[in-house]
Amino acid sequence: MITIIAGTNRPNSNARVISDIYADLLRQRGETCQILDLINLPVDFTSTALYDNCGKSEGFNALNDLINNSDKFVFIVPEYNGSYPGVLKAFIDGLSFPNSLKNKKAALVGISTGTQGGAIALSHLTDVLHYIGTHVLAAKPRLMFIHKNLNEGKLTNALYLTLLQEQIETFVSF
């Protein structure tokens, strides 16, 4: 099972739109996938599911189980203040360490409204994933000016669609 993680809890996020597009592309190839949107994190998870409270939040535990039952992950990573969203880091910190992501495989897609397409965010997240033992696919599409390349839930930039399809092609056999 491939789990696509919309890497922010922002309502109506571009990360969710790209997650939906990515899921459609995977399904067109006959792949089974699901989307884990961080909007579904319990509002109080940083005080009820982390550290001494690990395993005590039913809502967070359900999301942790989705991760534990997946072999591959696609992180759709928006750039926030020169890195990836803090809520994504807190989510990763709350997962069962080290087993949730260790020796599993991940693909990363960066999105930003700026010119770098989330390059620094992808670098930071890659470092964290490597630290916890996740195998990260080298191909990391960076979709810059994302707000100018989406219209009614569709990518309007043919190159971006090609980059996602090429990543999927490699990721499926990764």
Phi, psi of 140 (to 5 degrees): -130, 90
Do 134 and 106 contact (CB within 8 A), yes or no? yes
Please provide the average confidence, as pLDDT, over all residues in the chain: 95
Question: Averaged over 155-174, what is the pLDDT?
Answer: 97
| More confident position, 135 or 44 | 135
C-alpha distance from residue 137 to each of 51, 107, 113, 118 (Å):
30, 5, 23, 16
Question: Which residues are within 8 A (CB) of 126 and not within 5 positions of it... i.e. 6 or more apart?
Answer: 108, 136, 140
- The percentage of residues in the chain with a pLDDT greater than 70, rounded to a whole number, is 100
User: What is the reported pLDDT for 132?
Assistant: 94
User: What is the reported pLDDT for 143?
Assistant: 98
Domain ranges of the chain: 2-172
54-109: pLDDT as tens digits: 888 889 999 999 999 999 999 999 999 999 999 999 999 999 877 899 999 999 99
Whether this model's pTM surpasses 0.75: yes
Question: Which residues are within 8 A (CB) of 27 and not within 5 positions of it... i.e. 6 or more apart?
Answer: 33
Closest by alpha carbon to 7, among 148, 128, 16?
16
User: What is the reported pLDDT for 20?
Assistant: 98
User: What is the reported pLDDT for 56?
Assistant: 83
pLDDT over 90 (residue 166)? yes
User: Taking the domain 2-172, which CATH number applies?
Assistant: 3.40.50.360
Question: Averaged over 27-49, what is the pLDDT?
Answer: 94
